[in-house]
Structure 1
Amino acid sequence: MKFNSCFSKCFSLPSETAIIDIRKEEPEPGNDQNFTVFSYSELKVATHGFSASNKIGEGAFGSVYKGLLTNGSIVAVKMLSIELESMRGEREFVSEITTLTNLEHENLVTLVGCCVEGAKRFLVYNYMENNSLAQVLLGGEQNRIKLRWGARGRILLGVARGLAYLHEEVKPHIVHRDIKASNILLDQNLIPKVSDFGLSRILRDNASHISTHVAGTLGYLAPEYAISGRLTRKTDVYSFGVLLLEIISGQTVVNFDLEHGEHYLVQKAWDLYRANRLLQLVDPVLGMNYPEEDAVRYIKVGLLCVQETARFRPEMSTALKMLTNEIDIGVVQISQPGLVADLMNIKLGHKTTFRSHYTKASNMESTPSSLSSCS
C-alpha cells in the first residue's frame, strides 16, 4: 500500500474535519514508490513491543523507537501522541507526511512510511546511527570531541543546503519553523538531516509571509515572529544562526549558573564580536586544531543571521555562499542581534531583546503559544 492509500486513511478518521483545514495549507501528496503503510503489529514486532530498551528519543509530539523490519532494514519509528481536544499531534502527523513525501534532498530526513490504526499514529524514517546533533554536541565533552572542526563545518554546510532547498528550490517554498540541534539528525558519516516537519508551513503563491500562531523553541525564535506571528523564511534563517553559534561553541543556547544567572549564547557572541575576540567563542575541546580564518567567518555569518532586523539577515543561499567564502564578508557590517528572553513579556506587549532587559527564559519547545495570529 503506497502513500495515496495512507493519506486516504487519514481522512476517513473521526478527526477528518480538523485535518481537512491542514490539507488546504499543504501541497498535494506525491506518489513516492518507496513509501509504505505499515500495520501496527508490524511496528510492534519491529520495536520489540516499543520496549524501553529500543527507545532512542523523545520529541514534543511523541517517543521515537529503533526498529528492525522483516526485510532487515533498521528504521526509527515515531509514536505520536494525539490530543483529542486540540488535535495537536494529528495536525503534525499530516503536515509531516504531506511535506516529506514531496521532498528529496541529501540533507533532509527520509520518510519511509506511516501507520494509521484507530487513534494510533506512527511515522517511520530511515535510522540515523548518530542520533541527533543535540545528543552529540550537548552531551558532554567526550561527545563533542567526536565533532572535530571538519565535521562541524560539514554539518553547518549540510543544514544550510537543506534549508536553501526548502526556502528557494522547492515550489511552493517551505518554512521549517523549528530548526534546532535536536531536529538535526546525523547518519553514520555525520551527514546532517533536517527532521521534524510537524510545524512546517507552506508559502503559497510566492507569498513573502504568513500569519500564524507562534510555535518553535525559545532561544531559537526570531523576535519579530515571536512578537507578531509573522512567519517568513528569515524566521528559519534566525534559527540557523543560533544553531551555527551552538555548533562552533559547543554551548547551549541558554546557560545558567548560580553566580551569574542566565547567559545567552547570542549575546555572548555579540559581546565578543564587539570586543574583537571572536575566537574565544570556539569550543575549547578543539584546542588549536581549526583554521582561525574559517572560525571567524562562520561566527560572523551566524551573527548576520540573528540580526534583530529581519531584512538585514541573508537568504539561506547567500549564507551558504558566505560560509564557503564565495561571498567575502571581511568588511560586512553586522547590526544588533535580537533575542526573545521571556515569552510572558511578549504576551504582555513588551519586547524583550538586547535593547531592553533580560528576564527568565521559559521553555516552549515545539509548542504553539497562546499568542493570537496577526493579519
Structure 2
Amino acid sequence: MENKIWVLLICCTITTTLSTLCVNAATDQADVSALTVMYSSLGASPQLTGWTSNGGDPCGQSWKGITCSGSAVTEIKLSGLGLSGSLGYQLSSLTSLTNLDVSSNNLGNQIPYQLPPNLQRLNLAGNSFTGGIPYSISLMASLKYLNLNHNQLQGQMGDMFGQLSALTTLDLSFNAFTGNLPESFASLSSVTRMYLQNNQFTGPIDVLVDLPLENLNVANNRFSGWIPERLKRINNLQTDGNSWTSGPAPPPPPGTPPSSGQNNPNRRSGGNSSPSANGDGKKSGIGGGGVAGIVVSILVVGAVLAFFLLKRKSRKHSSSDVEKPEIDRPFTPLASNEVKEMKSIQPSAAISTKTFENSASINLRPPPVDRHKSFDEDDFSHKPVVVKKANTAPISTTAYSVADLQMATGSFSVDNLIGEGSIGRVYRAQFDDGKILAVKKIHASALPNQSSEDFIEVVADISRLHHPNVTELVGYCSEFGQNLLVYEFHKNGSLHDFLHLSDDYSNPLTWNTRVKIALGSARALEYLHEICSPSVVHKYFKSANILLDVEFNPHLSDCGLGSFVPNADHQASDQNSSSGYSAPEVAMSGQYTLKSDVYSFGVVMLELLTGRKPFESSRSRSEQSLVRWASPQLHDIDSLAKMVDPALKGLYPAKSLSRFADVIALCVQPEPEFRPPMSEVVQALVRLVQRANMSKRTVGDEQGTPRRTEEADIQEYTF
C-alpha cells in the first residue's frame, strides 16, 4: 500500500511540476512574432480563441491549437475551423514546429514559400491554395507526411523530392497538376502511401517501380504506357481512368537488373501490412515482462526527476528553467547533403563535413546524383563557398569603436559618402594600416525599438552569410546608441553607377561582363533563397546594391538587413516602387517574398540589357516603366535588337542576347507563381554561357584590349 501511495505521489508531483513549468514558460519571441503575423493573415478569426495580434504567450496562455515544449511551439492544429485568409509570411521562424495542420478550412492564395523548416507533418488539405508546391518543401529532410489534396494547385511539379527520403505518405490528389511525374520521386525510399488521383498527370509511372508502396492511387489522370508488373503486386492499387496501353508490356532492355521485389507482399511479413503477426503466424511484439520492465524503468526515472524537481521547488520557475532545444538561427546554411544537392549551383564548392560534425541532424549519406547538372564543374567557378555551421559562439567579426570609425571616415565626412539608402548611409573608411572598408551607418529611425543586444544578435546572424558573390561583413560597432556595420570595400562601385552614371570617357561594360554580373548576382540570390535555412528574402535587390570588384565580379550588399528592420517590407516597397524594382504584388500588399526578389532580379537584367533605369519620369508615359515597355518586345528579335544598350555598339552575340531576354521574361512575369526559383535562373544563365556561339567580331574588354577568338570570349566567363 505504501508503494502504491509513493508511486502516485511521484506521478502527481511530476505532472504538477511539469504543468507549472508549461504555464510559466515564456514563449520564444520568434515563435510569438510568427504566430501574431499568422493571426493577422487569418483575419483575426474569432475561432482562434486566446490568440492575439499584440504579443502574448501562446504556450503559457493556451492559444487554441497550439502545443509547446518548454518555450518552443511544436504543433499547430487548426483543422476544420472555417478559417480564411492566408498563412502569413513568417512561418519559417517556427524552427521547432514539427506538425502543421490547417486542413479543411477556406485558406487561399499560394502556399507560402517560407514554411517551418523542420516539419515532420504538413497537412494543408481541403483548402483553396493555388499555384504550385513551394521549393522550400524540398529542403524539409525530416518531413514524413505531406497532404495537399483537394486544393487548386496546378502546373508541372519541379524535381524537388530528392531529399525527402523520410516521407512515408504523399497525397496530391484532387488538384490540377500536369506533366510527367518528377524523376526525384524515385528518391522517396520510405513512402508507403501515395495518392495522385484526379489530376492531369501524363506519361508513364515507371519512376514509382522501386518504391515500397502499399497503397497507390493514380486513377483519373492522363497516364500512358504500361503499368509495371511490380506495381501490379501492390495490394491497394487503383489505376482506372487513364490511357494505359493494352497488351503485354515489352521486355526490359538488355542489362536491366532483376526486380528488387520491394513491392512483393511476401516480403512485408511483420511490416505495416501485418502489424500483429510475423511470417510463421506467431504473435510478435513486446511481451508482458518487457512491458513491466519498461514501466519499472519509467517509474525509476520519474522518481529521480521528482527528487530533483522538489529540491528546486524553492527556486522561481521561469522560461529560463526549461532548456530550449537548440535550433538553427536565421541564415543558417543547410546540412551537407542539402548543399551538395545544389552542386550545379556552386559546382566546385569545397564543403567539409567537419563543420557539421556536432549536428545530430546531419545526414552524411552520399547525395543523390544531380540530374540537372549541365556543365563542366571546373569551367565556371573556382571560388569555394564556405558554409559554416550555426552556433552560439561569439561573433567572429571585428568590434570597432565609434572613435575608430570616426577617424577612418573623417568624422563621417560628406567627402567620404559613397551611398545612401532607406536604412542608412555608407561611407568610405581608410584605416591606419592602409586598409579600406565600407561603413554603413544605420539610421536611428530604422531601428526605433532595438536594443544593442538585439543589434549584436542580428550582426551574428549576418556574419554567417558566406558566399563569393555576397559582400562580406567585416565588423560592427554598437556604442552610444550608434549602430554601424563594416563591410569589405569594392573599388569599382555599384552596377548602377557603371550603367547610369558613367561619363563619355568611361569604358562601358561589355556584353560578356554583363552576363558575368547577371550570373554572379543570380548565384548570390540563390544562396540566400535556397541554401540558407531559413531562406533570406533580400527585399532591397537593385543595381545599386550590386558592387563590382576590380575583376567586375558582382557582390550583393545589404543581405539580411531587411529581416530585422521594423516595417522593412513597407520601406523596401516604398523605395523600390518609386524606382521600378517592386513586383506587382508588393505594390499591393507591401510584403516581400522570394518571388518578388526574382522579379527585382529580372529588372536588373533589363538594366544590363538596355542600359536604362527601371523608372524614368523624363520619358514618354509609355516608356517610363522599363518592365512595362520592354516585356512585350522580349520575344521579338527585331524589337529586341533595338532595345539593346547603345553603349554596346552592336558587339554581342544574337543568340546569347535572345536567351538572356528569355530569362528576363520568366523573371518579370506579373504572377509570382510563374516566376522560376533562382536555382533555375542560375542553370539557364549557365546554359546560356555554355551554348553561346560567341561572335567572331572583335570585342573589347574594359581596358580596351581586343579579343578576336571564341576561346577568349568563353574564357571571360570562367569565374
TM > 0.5 fold call = yes
Aligned residue for 1:200, secondary structure, equals helix
Distance 1:122 1:199, change over 3 A: closer
Alpha-carbon displacement from aligned partner over 1:348-374 (angstroms, at most 9, x marks no partner): xxxxxxxxxxxxxxxxxxxxxxxxxxx
Given the alignment of the two structures, is residue 138 of structure 1 paired with residue 500 of structure 2, yes or no?
yes
Assess if the C-alpha contact under 8 Å between 1:80 and 1:93 holds in 2: no
Cα distance in 2 between the residues matched to 1:29 and 1:297: 42
Given the alignment of the two structures, is residue 118 of structure 1 paired with residue 480 of structure 2, yes or no?
yes
Distance 1:128 1:32, change over 3 A: farther
* Mean Cα deviation higher: 65-74 or 151-160: 65-74
1:234 to 588, 591, 595: 595
Other-structure match for 2:401: 39
> How many residues matched?
304
Distance 1:241 1:142, change over 3 A: same
Counting only pairs closer than 5 Å after superposition, residues 69-80 of structure 1 correspond to structure 2 as 69-80=431-442
* Mean Cα deviation higher: 138-147 or 76-85: 138-147
Other-structure match for 1:61: 423
Cα distance in 2 between the residues matched to 1:154 and 1:89: 40
Assess if the C-alpha contact under 8 Å between 2:659 and 2:688 holds in 1: no
Cα distance in 2 between the residues matched to 1:96 and 1:315: 26
Other-structure match for 2:662: 300
Distance 1:30 1:129, change over 3 A: farther
Assess if the C-alpha contact under 8 Å between 2:462 and 2:560 holds in 1: no
Other-structure match for 2:465: 103
Counting only pairs closer than 5 Å after superposition, residues 1-375 of structure 1 correspond to structure 2 as 27=330, 31=393, 34-83=396-445, 86-87=448-449, 97-140=459-502, 142=504, 145-197=507-559, 199-201=561-563, 213=570, 215-216=572-573, 217-218=576-577, 219-229=580-590, 231-257=592-618, 260=621, 263-273=624-634, 275-276=636-637, 277-325=639-687
Aligned residue for 1:106, secondary structure, equals coil
Alpha-carbon displacement from aligned partner over 1:239-297 (angstroms, at most 9, x marks no partner): 10111101111100012336557521112222323644212221111012111111111
Alpha-carbon displacement from aligned partner over 1:180-235 (angstroms, at most 9, x marks no partner): 01111111211111111354349xxxxxxxx9657331121111233235543111
Structure 1 stretches (4+) deviating beyond 4 angstroms? 28-34, 84-96, 211-214, 258-262, 326-329
Aligned residue for 2:428, secondary structure, equals strand
Cα distance in 1 between the residues matched to 2:424 and 2:651: 39
Cα distance in 2 between the residues matched to 1:55 and 1:212: 26
Name the aligned partner's letter for residue 59 of structure 1.
G
Deviation at 1:97, TM superposition (A): 2.2
RMSD over equivalenced CA pairs, Å: 3.5
Deviation at 1:299, TM superposition (A): 1.4
Cα distance in 1 between the residues matched to 2:505 and 2:588: 36
Distance 1:99 1:253, change over 3 A: farther
Alpha-carbon displacement from aligned partner over 1:309-337 (angstroms, at most 9, x marks no partner): 112111111011112227999xxxxxxxx
Aligned residue for 2:429, secondary structure, equals strand
Assess if the C-alpha contact under 8 Å between 2:660 and 2:688 holds in 1: no
Name the aligned partner's letter for residue 189 of structure 1.
E
Assess if the C-alpha contact under 8 Å between 2:610 and 2:644 holds in 1: yes
Cα distance in 1 between the residues matched to 2:454 and 2:653: 41
Cα distance in 1 between the residues matched to 2:643 and 2:607: 10
Assess if the C-alpha contact under 8 Å between 2:656 and 2:688 holds in 1: no
* Mean Cα deviation higher: 48-57 or 177-186: 48-57
Cα distance in 2 between the residues matched to 1:33 and 1:188: 29
Distance 1:220 1:92, change over 3 A: farther
Distance 1:279 1:262, change over 3 A: closer
Assess if the C-alpha contact under 8 Å between 1:96 and 1:196 holds in 2: no
Aligned residue for 1:123, secondary structure, equals strand
TM-score (norm. length: structure 2): 0.39
Cα distance in 2 between the residues matched to 1:243 and 1:111: 24
Other-structure match for 1:365: none
Aligned residue for 2:555, secondary structure, equals strand
Assess if the C-alpha contact under 8 Å between 1:242 and 1:302 holds in 2: yes
Distance 1:265 1:143, change over 3 A: farther
Alpha-carbon displacement from aligned partner over 1:85-113 (angstroms, at most 9, x marks no partner): 94499899668624421110000001111
Distance 1:41 1:197, change over 3 A: same
Assess if the C-alpha contact under 8 Å between 1:136 and 1:143 holds in 2: no
Identity of aligned residues (%): 36
Aligned residue for 2:547, secondary structure, equals strand
Name the aligned partner's letter for residue 215 of structure 1.
A
Higher radius of gyration, 1 or 2: 2
TM-score (norm. length: structure 1): 0.71
Aligned residue for 1:253, secondary structure, equals coil
Deviation at 1:61, TM superposition (A): 2.1
Cα distance in 2 between the residues matched to 1:57 and 1:327: 32
Alpha-carbon displacement from aligned partner over 1:155-188 (angstroms, at most 9, x marks no partner): 0000001111111111221111111011111112
Name the aligned partner's letter for residue 104 of structure 1.
H
Cα distance in 1 between the residues matched to 2:653 and 2:451: 44
Distance 1:259 1:175, change over 3 A: closer
